[in-house]
């Protein structure tokens, strides 16, 4: 962008009454949506249109002059749509939607139906299942995230004795446990 006087890097189309109305609406919407980065970009553009210097806007919003100039270019090229914050796309998922549905069905059916000896799924087992059936390898820490995206939650079995007598346990808690429970040491007489 060539050097220009304050407020003139944006053409008359970007400074028109309707464009300013859209810009002000954009600023209000972004503030209400707590998209503070886009709100700040909108305010900087509005300040520039009101003849404020780029260097002053950069100092006010704690960004570089290059950032403010880039925002001006975005606004000039695309209007307020150029100022919106977009979520970065990130890497493509290893399992697409067509593969996630069968995985959810396999997990629902249980490990025995999938050919495992255990009756309870573990993270490494599901990682192994994904690798065998779909050819994708997931890190053991990512498997729980993937399951959460599929609508599953971690369930851990409670540790209980299979042949325990509830009456004897209650009796032990009432009588024997208090007898062996640690008591405070007696206070020495001074």
Q: Would you say 99 and 131 are in contact if contact means Cβ atoms under 8 Å apart?
A: no
Q: Is the dihedral of CA 141, 145, 151, 156 positive or negative?
A: positive
Structure confidence at residue 164 as a pLDDT band (50, 70, 90): confident
Q: Is the pLDDT of residue 123 over 90?
A: no
pLDDT at residue 146 is higher than 70: yes
Between CA 156 and CA 4 the distance in angstroms is: 66
pTM exceeding the 0.75 threshold for the entire prediction: no
- pLDDT over threshold 60, residue 124: yes
pLDDT, tens digit, 9 for 90 and up, residues 35-89: 999 999 999 999 999 999 999 999 999 999 999 999 999 999 999 999 998 887 8
What is the pLDDT, as a whole number, of residue 61?
A: 95
Judge residue 68's burial from the number of C-beta atoms within 10 Å of its C-beta, 0-12 exposed, 13-18 middle, 19 or more buried: buried
User: Which two tokens mark 38?
Assistant: 């886009």
Contacts by 2-10 with C-beta closer than 8 Å and gap 24+? Answer: 6/48, 6/51, 6/52, 6/53, 6/54, 7/48, 7/49, 7/50, 7/51, 7/52, 9/48, 9/69, 9/72, 9/76, 10/45, 10/48, 10/49, 10/72, 10/75, 10/76
Q: What are phi and psi of 97, to 5 degrees?
A: -60, -35
Reduced 3-state DSSP string for 127-168: HHHHHHHHCCCCCCCCHHHHHHHCCCCCCCCCCCCCCCCHHH
Q: Residue 71 has what pLDDT? A: 95
pLDDT at 25: 96
From first CA to last CA, the distance across the chain in angstroms is: 87
Question: Up-side HSE of residue 122: CA atoms within 13 Å toward CB?
Answer: 7
* Helix, strand and coil in the chain, % to nearest 5: 55, 0, 45
Q: Where are the domains of the chain?
A: 12-83, 97-149
């Amino acid at each position: 962008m060539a050097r220009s006087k304050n407020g003139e890097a944006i053409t008359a189309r970007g400074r028109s009454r309707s464009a300013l109305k859209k810009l002000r609406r954009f600023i209000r919407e972004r503030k209400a949506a707590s998209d503070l980065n886009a709100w700040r970009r909108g305010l900087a553009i509005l300040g520039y249109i009101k003849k404020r210097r780029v260097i002053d806007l950069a100092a006010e919003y704690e960004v570089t002059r290059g950032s403010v100039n880039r925002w001006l270019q975005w606004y000039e090229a695309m209007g307020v749509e150029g100022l919106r914050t977009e979520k970065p796309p990130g890497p493509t998922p290893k399992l697409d939607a067509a593969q996630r549905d069968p995985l959810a069905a396999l997990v629902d059916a249980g490990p025995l139906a999938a050919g495992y000896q255990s009756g309870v799924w573990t993270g490494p087992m599901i990682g192994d299942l994904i690798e065998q059936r779909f050819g994708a390898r997931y890190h053991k820490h990512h498997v729980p995230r993937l399951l959460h995206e599929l609508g599953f939650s971690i369930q851990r079995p409670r540790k209980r004795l299979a042949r325990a007598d509830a009456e004897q346990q209650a009796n032990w808690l009432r009588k024997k446990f208090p007898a062996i429970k640690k008591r405070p040491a007696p206070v020495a007489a001074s």
